Chain A
Amino acid sequence: MGGYSRGRLMPRWLLLTMMTTLLWGVWGFEAKLVVDRATPFAAQVMFTAGMLMLGAAVLFSRDRYRGVNRARGVFYAVLTGILGGVGNVFFLIALQNGKASIIVPLTSLAPVVTVLVGVTVMREKVNRYQVVGLALALVAIFLLSL
Chain B
Amino acid sequence: MNSWLALSILALVCWGITGNTQKISTNHISTQLSFIAFSLAFVPVGVAALLLLPEGVHATRLVWALGILSGILNGLGALTSFAAFSAGAKSSVAVPVMYLAPLITVLMARLFLHEQISVAQWAGIFLAPVSAWLLSMESN
Contacts and interface: CB of A to CB of B under 8 A. Distances in A.
Interface in A23-69: 23-34, 37-39, 41-55, 58-59, 61, 63-69
A97 B74 contact: no
Interface residues of B, number: 118
Nearest to B9: A106
Contacts of A64: 30, 32-33, 36
A67 B17 CA distance: 22
28 contacts: A14-B97, A27-B70, A32-B113, A37-B60, A41-B53, A42-B49, A53-B72, A58-B39, A66-B29, A68-B29, A70-B28, A73-B25, A79-B21, A80-B21, A84-B14, A85-B45, A87-B11, A87-B18, A88-B45, A94-B5, A115-B96, A117-B19, A118-B91, A122-B92, A134-B93, A137-B128, A140-B103, A140-B131
Contacts of B32: 58, 61, 63-64, 66
Contact of A41 (B33, B43, B52, B69): B52
Given A85-B42, A87-B10, 15 more contacts: A11-B88, A16-B83, A26-B104, A34-B66, A46-B66, A49-B71, A63-B33, A74-B29, A82-B41, A88-B45, A98-B8, A114-B20, A114-B92, A124-B91, A144-B125
A98 B5 contact: yes
Interface string B44-69: 11100110110001111011101111
B25 to A, nearest CB: 4
Contacts of A82: 41
Contacts, number: 483
B128 A140 contact: yes
A117 B92 CA distance: 8
Q: Which of B15, B25, B90, B137 has the most CB of A within 10 A?
A: B15
Interface residues of A, number: 119
B103 A48 contact: no
B13 to A, nearest CB: 5
Interface of B: 2-5, 7-46, 49-50, 52-53, 57-60, 62-64, 66-85, 87-106, 108-109, 112-113, 118, 120-121, 123-125, 127-128, 130-140
Given A25-B104, A81-B41, A109-B12, A16 B131 contact: no
A110 B84 contact: no
B32 to A, nearest CB: 4
Nearest to B112: A29
